[in-house]
Each structure stands twice: as C-alpha cells, then as structure tokens.
Amino acid sequence: MKELNVMDRVYDSSSGSTAGNGKVIGGGLIIAGTSIGAGMLSLPIVSAGLGFTISAFIIVGLWALMTYTSLLMLEVHQFADSKATLHTLAKQFLGEKGKYIAAFSMFFLFYALCAAYIAGGGSQITARLNSALSMEVHNAFGSIIFAIIVAVVVAIGTHFLDKVNRVLFILMIGSMVLVLMSLMPNVNGGFLASMPVEYGLVLTALPVVFTSFGFHGSIPAIVSYLDGDTKNLKKAMYIGSCLPLAIYVLWLLCTLGVVSQAELYENSGLTALIASLSATLDGSSLSTFINLFAELALITSFLGVSLGLFDFIRDTTIHKLKGNKLYVAMLTYFPPLGFALFYPEGFIMALGYAAIALVVLAVFLPVAMVYKSRQINNSGTHYQVFGGNALLGLAALSGIVIIISQFVAG
C-alpha cells in the first residue's frame, strides 16, 4: 500500500502523462503477475494429448472470455465506489444472496488453489529430499514442510511477505527466461504437428487452462489504484491479459516442441514433466533452472493465494479469532494440507475444481451484475462493453461448459 501511495504522489505532481502511463503499465503487470504462476506448469500436462495447435486455440479462446469478463467488471465499477470489493459489488447489484455466493465461491477458490499448490510443492520437495538423501521420503513429509514454511512467512505479516515475494518473483522471471531460451533451440516441428490422441481430452484441458487466466480477484484493487479511470483501466486489462497469453503460448511451444507427445501423455505428473524437460538439456547447467522455475512458481503462487485466504478468514470469522494468528493459520492451512496428504498427486485435480469457483467469480457474477446494471443505468452515457445481451449469454454459456467439463473429466 505504501508503494501505491508513493506512485500516486508522483502521478499527481506530474505535469504530463508519463506517470499516468507508468501506473497503467504497473496495474497491467500486477494483473499479469496474478495470472502467471504455478498454473502455468499444468498447461503442458493437460495439453499433451491434444497437441500444440488445438491447445493454442483453447488458450486464445479462454483468454478472450476472461478479457471480456474483466471489461464487464469495469463497466459495473462505474456505478460503484472506486474502492468497492467484489462482495460490495455483488451486494449492490444482486443483493444479500449475491454477496453470499461471492463469499462462498471465494472460499472454495482459495482452498482449492492452496490444495493444488501444497500438492505440487510437496512433490517437488519430496523429490529434492529423495535425491539429496538417497532414500525414499514419504510425500506427506514434503507437503507438511512446504505448508509450514509458507504459513510462517504469511503469519509474520504482509510487509515481510512482500519483501520475500519480490525477491522470489524476480528470480522466477529470470529463471523462466533462461528456461525458454534454453528450450527454444531444441523445438522439434514434428512434435508440434502432433494430432490429438482423442478430442475428449478438451474437457480435461478447459478447466485448468481457464484457471491460468484467473486474475479477476485483483481487479477491484486495480480500479482503486487507477482512481476508477475507465480508459486507463481498459489499457491495464489488455496489458495484464495479453502478457500471460503470449507467455503461455511460448511456454507451450517450448514444452510440447521438445518432448514427444507420447512421453508427456504417458507421464502426466508435474515431477515427470520437469524430469522430461530437464532431460532435453542433458549436460547443460541450465537444466537446474527448470526445477528452480517450477519451485519458485509454486511458492510465489502459494504465498499470494494463501495470504488472500488468511486475510479473508481473519476478516470474516468471529471476533475471538480475528486477533489470533494461530487459529487463523490452522483454518487456512489444515484443510488444503489434508487434501494434499490424501491426494499427493492431486495438483491438476485441485486446479480443475478451482475452476468451478472461478467461473462463478469471473464469469457468472460479472455477467449477472452487468445485466442488472444495464437495466438500472440505461442512459447510454457510460462505458458499455460491446456485444450486448447476446455476448453476455454466450459468456454465461461458456462458463456452464467449463463447469460441465470439470465434472465430466473429474
């Protein structure tokens, strides 16, 4: 918050638009950073059986859906306070029921994502310990260690977490660039031309890819940051959604292009993916950056999501718990840790079910609020997203398809 205030002062004292453009770019990068993370690691796993071309079409299609619904959020924000949260908006336009639906979906999403990250991070730590100790370590041990480390960082406070996260995020971006640069020369056109093993695998891919564009939770903060300026907010939304799109397609190009479809499809775990990619760089010290990127992506994603869940629980539980970090931490980490212990390979499964809550938060709620808002505010003097009610219906239908896909594939 301190950093935002400093930037606000720079902007207000500026005689030109440079600082304003800086805030727009900064807001876009915050949105992009919210999307890019551990979910990126799952893309090659769920895309392996489909091939690069079909997978790229799915990514572009879901990017378009999420960009459209982010613009719907901006349309709604015009008629609310610039500091309004999603719960405030849901209550304003949809009443008490809307507020409760938003709250329940938020809990579901946070817990599912935390479960996914503990499962993925735990398997990574277990693999490291097995290699270092030359002995078999149980998966549960790695999951517990991973959860405890992140819980301690979050419980210390946001200021400390911010410092830790900045360092980790810079390292993650650096390692990602090195990984992409090292994989690119090894891309095989024959691998990229692989046809789908079966088209039914689209149902498995849809929920996971959809979750990888889940930045809508950060939109209220960006609206406040840019003082509700719709023109600048639109620019920030496009920057924040297009960056992940470009990075995801490039990541898919590098991963599906250096490992055969058969190998990726038969070995569909996170650890197996990293091992396959590392094998393509045999003899190169850069192979270590693949593991580093995977671990940093999991940690940074888990830090951000679990902080959101920690604060959400602290703010919504009874008064006795609000000041007790131990109880709040137990409510935050025990449920997802339990999932990781019973389903140590549940990284993809948890991300898939997170998509159900994300559909409610990022598709159904924006569509419903905009539909209600247009009935109330129909003067035509405010910004309105293109497409009218027909596109609203198509977006809602897309959300239904994603939810059905998860239940059918899950």
Q: pLDDT grade, residue 15 (50/70/90)? A: very low
How many angstroms separate the CA atoms of 306 and 151, rounded?
8
pLDDT averaged over the chain? 82
pTM of the predicted protein model: 0.80
Asked whether 56 and 248 are in contact (CB, 8 A), the reply is: no
Please give the DSSP secondary-structure letter assigned to residue 195: P
How many angstroms separate the CA atoms of 375 and 148, rounded?
49
Assess whether pLDDT exceeds 50 at residue 14.
no
How many angstroms separate the CA atoms of 125 and 137, rounded?
10
User: Which residue has 């009443």 as its token pair?
Assistant: 95
In this prediction, residue 323 carries a pLDDT of: 57
Assess whether pLDDT exceeds 50 at residue 75.
yes
How many angstroms separate the CA atoms of 198 and 174, rounded?
36
Summarize pLDDT for 315-374 with one digit per residue, the tens: 666 555 555 778 888 888 998 998 888 887 777 778 778 889 999 999 999 999 999 998
DSSP letters for 93-156: HHHHHHHHHHHHHHHHHHHHHHHHHHHHHHHHHHHHHHHHHTS---HHHHHHHHHHHHHHHHHH
Summarize pLDDT for 257-300 with one digit per residue, the tens: 988 888 888 776 667 777 788 777 665 666 677 778 888 888 88
For residue 157, which phi and psi values (nearest 5 degrees)? 145, 160
Read off the pLDDT of each residue in 184-196 and give the average, rounded to a whole number.
88
Read off the pLDDT of each residue in 8-27 and give the average, rounded to a whole number.
55
Give the burial string for 13-36 (b: 16+ CB within 10 Å, else e). Answer: eeeeeebbeebbebbbebbbbbbb
Asked whether 247 and 36 are in contact (CB, 8 A), the reply is: yes
Summarize pLDDT for 115-170 with one digit per residue, the tens: 888 888 888 888 888 877 777 777 788 889 989 988 888 888 767 877 787 788 88
Hey, what are 184's tokens? 């690119």
In this prediction, residue 160 carries a pLDDT of: 82
In this prediction, residue 26 carries a pLDDT of: 81
136: exposed, middle or buried (Cβ count in 10 Å: 0-12, 13-18, 19+): exposed
User: Which residue has 């059986």 as its token pair?
Assistant: 49
Distance, C-alpha 242 to centroid of its chain: 14
Asked whether 77 and 84 are in contact (CB, 8 A), the reply is: yes
In this prediction, residue 342 carries a pLDDT of: 84
How many angstroms separate the CA atoms of 65 and 72, rounded?
11
**106-115, 189-198, 306-315: which has the minimum mean pLDDT?**
306-315
Radius of gyration of the chain (CA): 21
Assess whether pLDDT exceeds 70 at residue 240.
yes
How many angstroms separate the CA atoms of 19 and 225, rounded?
13
In this prediction, residue 319 carries a pLDDT of: 55
Q: Which residue has the higher pLDDT, 386 or 12?
A: 386
Summarize pLDDT for 28-46 with one digit per residue, the tens: 887 887 788 777 888 988 8
In this prediction, residue 395 carries a pLDDT of: 97
Q: In Å, what is the CA distance from 349 to each residue of 45, 204, 269, 278, 299? A: 12, 10, 11, 24, 19
Structural domains for the chain = 24-378+387-409 (1.20.1740.10)
